Structure 1
Amino acid sequence: MLQIPFTEARIAPGTVLSWSLRTQHSPLSGEEDQAVAFTSASFNQDKHHSSSQATRSTSDGIASSITVTFEIDGPLDIAALESAFLLLVRRHEVLRCEFQRLAGDLNCTALSPESISLEAEEVGHFHTAEELHTHLDKEFKSLDTLSWPLFLMGAVVRESSTTVYLCFDHIVCDGMSMPVVVNEIQTAYTAFTGGRRPELPPVASYLTFGDAQRRRWSSLRPDDDRLAYWKGFIASNGGFFPRFPFDIGVPDDRLYPLVNRSHRLLDAGRTDALAAGARAAGGSVFTGVLAAAATAQRRLGGPAVYRGLLPVSERSEPVWEHSVGWFVNTMPIEFEVAEGGEERVGDHAATMAGVRAAYTEMQRHVGVPFVRAWELLAPEAFSLHHWPFAVNFFSYIDFRRAPGGERHPLWNPTLHVWAARGNGVSHWFHRTAEGLYVNTLHVETPEAQEISDALNDALVGVLREIGDRRGGAASPVPIPRPSRSRDGRLSGIRE
């Protein structure tokens, strides 16, 4: 599965079909009905929803979505695809929810599986890829966190192939839910076309997860020992959020339009070499990439101690592996960066060892929800509807290990993350069968683009150095530096 901006998606024209959810019961009717279940929303959902509400009438409206597309080969069996869509919605309770804020708390209203049906519509035939892209882009951006339903589904149908699409508001899913969705629909579609009942793994409801999380952590107080890890990080960092260590040309208190870009950092062969080099140093691709990202920052004038935020999967129990939901916590991490200047190879193994030790320690405290820690330990910033400034953010996923990952080369799934506005830089690193990639969202300023380009170039050099260490010491790879202004200052570096 490749994560790229939707602007880079290449979908052949065809006839667009869409499916809309229909219910026998209104989620907002307030009527007593056994088809309706109520639970508390998760902390992630609550913050996302409150931010959307608060910024609805402002120029800094909060909106984000996650879209997945994939291919079905051969003439489409429309009835089978519709049955697969319906099964997806009935299996995952979070997709049948609407959110309401009652007495300050965000609650979920979930309809029963039996009350849900689908209504198909032929939207029309699109003769060019450009017309199709314009239509789909407009549809995807029409999703509203405050309206039901919270996702769209459809297909672009051609004589011998079909592109299936689903677009979700972030409140109902995370990035790892997308391979789950692809695997489930492809498996169910194949079964339905053969007249068989789909055999799918058991799933648990994200609503159960979120409700249990709220019950466990709502009583947490600032003096609780379980916040010791966060407090230690705050003490060394000088605040709750780790600042992105370069100037990107925006004031802290404003949101800007975002540029969405993707790059292939290494091809499959180079990525295998990276894996071998990281293993030789006692690490893994994850520790190698994080160490390389920190080293690239250091080479461009960044700090000798890397401090950043990591999204961490909360799918540790098998029951959540095939579930759709927002199973992501966010945790801080810090470690020393052994590599200094570009004139020497340095000790990448030492940095990777620091990453391993820091990650192991972080995992001991991963249960504390990020939003709850933010509320308790940085209350002055919690009233904001976004992070207070550009934050150092790193994410890594190996999509080959996701459900159905071995069949991704056949299905050609692509993931598209979109956000309307922001004030920083976010990096999503991911590995596929074709290599190592990064999807970057950054503010639309010359400074942000310049430092983003420089970091990508530096990162590729460090990753190759780690891969080349399989046979011993590597030769330094020349790293392009950001340009200097007339007064000699390095453009893009936070002084």
Structure 2
Amino acid sequence: MKSIQEFLSYLNELDVRLWSDDGRLRCNAPQDALTPTLRAELAERKAEILDFLKQANLATSSTHQPIRPVPRNGNLPLSFSQQGLWFIDQLEIESTAYNQLFAVHLCGSLKVAVLEQALTEIVRRHEVLRTTFQSVDGQPVQVIAPNPDLSLSVVDLSDLAEAKQSAEIQQLAISELDRPFNLEQLPLLRVTLLQLKAAEYVLLLAIHHIVADGWSGGIIIRELGALYEVFSRGKPSSLPELPIQYADFAHWQQQRLRGAVLEEQLTYWTQQLADAPPVLQLPCDRPRPAVQTHRGATITLRLGVEVTQGLKQLSQQEGATLFMTLLAAFQILLYRYTNQDDICVGTTLANRHSRDLESLVGFFVNTAVIRTDLSGNPSFRELLGRVRRVALEAQERSDLPFNLLVEKLQPERNLSHTPLFQVMFVLENAPIDTLELPGLTLSRFELAIAAATFDLSLSMRETQQGLIANFEYNIDLF
């Protein structure tokens, strides 16, 4: 049986939230996450879990203060991750490397004015979407505009043939990604509505990574659906006011991540990545350029419902998450092509430890390096156990910003590749779902756009038709 810490870490990976409410154990979990086996173990270990939560609350009361609103009349610091992007922006003027694009397919009778009203309300709700970044005495600070100022651009493509429409959508999307943002000026969110037919549209949301991450995209789309529905009926917003904002998190993080807390995380990662191989030697078709390029292409694979269910069952049998199982399989694939048994793969961690952060737009996601030992010809189950252990350790120490880790380790800089890892693996944990509204459907719109940040990236997400795997690769290497 797992230790209580391992069991709770495993539940956290499954996005199962536990808390104590007046001595009663409360639980919030995604659909199908709590299998009969897990439910039985929760019931069996209820007293143990409540005792652990009580002790944890006592231990953290003095060292892990809750996030509280801070005054807005002084200089507001950036989070550590924001600082990293701000410094990059200072060095690479008009860089578009950290532009993101979310695309939403809208089908039905759309009220454009109501859509713009809903988007404006989202910008009002989330301060970070009306935040700019100024330099005060050489240090960056957040400056929050008091009122939302959003402009919805509308482009009519309805006169074009379907093939030309598709090409124009791609071109407009690429143009949005290639337009730089000025971090000192609003907006850092640009919204364009493309009309394809009388009752079909595509909504493009271009946003700088310094104010939002991938999880934030899901929040924006879900709130857009909820607000559009009530505004179209002439009703006020039904969404509760947010108890904290991103600036409050940034201040809390700057206060918390120092001293012993910072030193413990730095010590772990320094030891974990000591003497790691600097480059994963994938067999390339072309010589590696002296300076890394970002020209990319993608290949998409679908695993199907049966394979997906089999992977989930294996994960449950081994006390692992689907993420861990998929990562183990991916690392075996990398071993096959590199013949290296010491493999470092980058991944992203949501880093939203508080329930208040789960519904907040902002740049929370953190990058972690999962280093796995594949030596000794392990069975898949044995390797999965190794991946599980390292992944849980990484999750428990996910606060340390990646830029601080690189600064601490000081790997030999080489402009031809990224430091510490060159291959990324991501399992989307907050995919954009289809939203059915009265008279209107919102769903994810796929764009065939690739910008290779790494040599190779594998991004996976689960759909009703099974897992989808998207391989993105650098075409100057492969």
Q: What's the TM-score once normalised by structure 1's chain length? A: 0.71
Per the alignment, residue 69 of structure 1 pairs with: 103
Per the alignment, residue 335 of structure 1 pairs with: 372
Equivalent positions of 1:281-292 (< 5 A) are 281-292=318-329
Matched, 1:375 2:407: yes
Asked if the contact 2:296/2:451 (under 8 Å) is kept, the reply is: no
The alpha-carbon distance between structure 1 residues 56 and 117, as it changes in their structure 2 partners (threshold 3 A), is: closer
Matched, 1:39 2:76: yes
The alpha-carbon distance between structure 1 residues 250 and 429, as it changes in their structure 2 partners (threshold 3 A), is: farther
Per the alignment, residue 435 of structure 1 pairs with: 466
Per the alignment, residue 254 of structure 2 pairs with: 214
Matched, 1:349 2:381: yes
SS of the equivalent of 2:472 reads: strand
CA shift for structure 1 position 62: 5.4
CA shift for structure 1 position 356: 1.4
Asked if the contact 1:336/1:354 (under 8 Å) is kept, the reply is: yes
CA shift for structure 1 position 152: 0.8
Asked if the contact 1:426/1:442 (under 8 Å) is kept, the reply is: yes
Aligned AA for 1:266? L
Per the alignment, residue 192 of structure 1 pairs with: 231
The alpha-carbon distance between structure 1 residues 360 and 417, as it changes in their structure 2 partners (threshold 3 A), is: farther
Per the alignment, residue 191 of structure 2 pairs with: 153
Asked if the contact 2:315/2:321 (under 8 Å) is kept, the reply is: yes
The alpha-carbon distance between structure 1 residues 52 and 405, as it changes in their structure 2 partners (threshold 3 A), is: same
Aligned AA for 1:264? L
**1:137 equivalent among 168, 174, 178:** 174
CA shift for structure 1 position 377: 2.8
Unaligned 5+ runs, structure 2: 1-70
Per the alignment, residue 298 of structure 2 pairs with: 261
The alpha-carbon distance between structure 1 residues 392 and 151, as it changes in their structure 2 partners (threshold 3 A), is: same
Using the alignment, how far apart are the partners of 1:63 and 1:317 within structure 2?
29
Give the number of equivalent residue pairs: 397
SS of the equivalent of 2:274 reads: helix
The alpha-carbon distance between structure 1 residues 420 and 269, as it changes in their structure 2 partners (threshold 3 A), is: closer
Using the alignment, how far apart are the partners of 1:41 and 1:77 within structure 2?
37
Using the alignment, how far apart are the partners of 2:447 and 2:98 within structure 1?
11
Using the alignment, how far apart are the partners of 2:325 and 2:208 within structure 1?
32
**1:244 equivalent among 268, 280, 284:** 280
Aligned AA for 1:268? V
The alpha-carbon distance between structure 1 residues 311 and 255, as it changes in their structure 2 partners (threshold 3 A), is: same
Per the alignment, residue 216 of structure 2 pairs with: 177
Aligned AA for 1:356? R
Asked if the contact 2:304/2:466 (under 8 Å) is kept, the reply is: yes
CA shift for structure 1 position 169: 1.3
Query: Mean Cα displacement is larger for which, 288-297 or 212-221?
Result: 212-221
SS of the equivalent of 1:211 reads: helix
Using the alignment, how far apart are the partners of 1:384 and 1:214 within structure 2?
30
Using the alignment, how far apart are the partners of 1:212 and 1:275 within structure 2?
37
Per the alignment, residue 491 of structure 1 pairs with: none
Using the alignment, how far apart are the partners of 1:376 and 1:117 within structure 2?
40
Matched, 1:100 2:116: no
**CA displacement, residues 10-54 of structure 1 (integer Å, 9 cap, x when unaligned):** xxxxxxxxxxxxxxxxxxxxxxxx998741112222222222221
Using the alignment, how far apart are the partners of 1:417 and 1:38 within structure 2?
41
Aligned AA for 1:361? E
CA shift for structure 1 position 284: 2.8
SS of the equivalent of 1:438 reads: strand
CA shift for structure 1 position 418: 6.6
Using the alignment, how far apart are the partners of 2:153 and 2:397 within structure 1?
48
Per the alignment, residue 488 of structure 1 pairs with: none
Unaligned 5+ runs, structure 1: 1-33, 341-345, 450-495
The alpha-carbon distance between structure 1 residues 260 and 170, as it changes in their structure 2 partners (threshold 3 A), is: farther
Using the alignment, how far apart are the partners of 1:87 and 1:162 within structure 2?
21
Equivalent positions of 1:421-432 (< 5 A) are 422=453, 424-432=455-463
**CA displacement, residues 252-294 of structure 1 (integer Å, 9 cap, x when unaligned):** 7512132131412412332122212332333231111011011
Matched, 1:310 2:350: no
Aligned AA for 2:251? D
Asked if the contact 2:461/2:467 (under 8 Å) is kept, the reply is: yes
Matched, 1:78 2:118: no
SS of the equivalent of 1:235 reads: coil
Using the alignment, how far apart are the partners of 2:404 and 2:340 within structure 1?
28
Per the alignment, residue 28 of structure 2 pairs with: none
Per the alignment, residue 89 of structure 1 pairs with: 123
CA shift for structure 1 position 221: 11
Using the alignment, how far apart are the partners of 2:157 and 2:394 within structure 1?
51
SS of the equivalent of 1:366 reads: coil
Using the alignment, how far apart are the partners of 2:416 and 2:143 within structure 1?
24
Query: Mean Cα displacement is larger for which, 405-414 or 61-70?
Result: 405-414
Query: Mean Cα displacement is larger for which, 391-400 or 146-155?
Result: 391-400
Using the alignment, how far apart are the partners of 1:107 and 1:288 within structure 2?
41
The alpha-carbon distance between structure 1 residues 210 and 435, as it changes in their structure 2 partners (threshold 3 A), is: same
**2:362 equivalent among 325, 348, 365:** 325
CA shift for structure 1 position 122: 4.4
Equivalent positions of 1:438-477 (< 5 A) are 438-445=469-476, 448-449=477-478
Using the alignment, how far apart are the partners of 1:443 and 1:318 within structure 2?
37
SS of the equivalent of 1:300 reads: helix
Query: Mean Cα displacement is larger for which, 297-306 or 148-157?
Result: 297-306
Using the alignment, how far apart are the partners of 2:261 and 2:290 within structure 1?
28
Using the alignment, how far apart are the partners of 2:79 and 2:448 within structure 1?
21
Query: Mean Cα displacement is larger for which, 414-423 or 320-329?
Result: 414-423
Aligned AA for 1:171? I
Per the alignment, residue 29 of structure 2 pairs with: none
Matched, 1:412 2:435: no
The alpha-carbon distance between structure 1 residues 153 and 324, as it changes in their structure 2 partners (threshold 3 A), is: same
CA shift for structure 1 position 417: 9.8
The alpha-carbon distance between structure 1 residues 134 and 279, as it changes in their structure 2 partners (threshold 3 A), is: same
The alpha-carbon distance between structure 1 residues 168 and 138, as it changes in their structure 2 partners (threshold 3 A), is: same
Query: Mean Cα displacement is larger for which, 249-258 or 317-326?
Result: 249-258
Per the alignment, residue 5 of structure 2 pairs with: none
User: Alpha carbon RMSD of aligned pairs, Å?
Assistant: 3.3
Aligned AA for 1:429? M
Using the alignment, how far apart are the partners of 1:263 and 1:219 within structure 2?
45
SS of the equivalent of 1:237 reads: coil
Using the alignment, how far apart are the partners of 1:201 and 1:395 within structure 2?
31
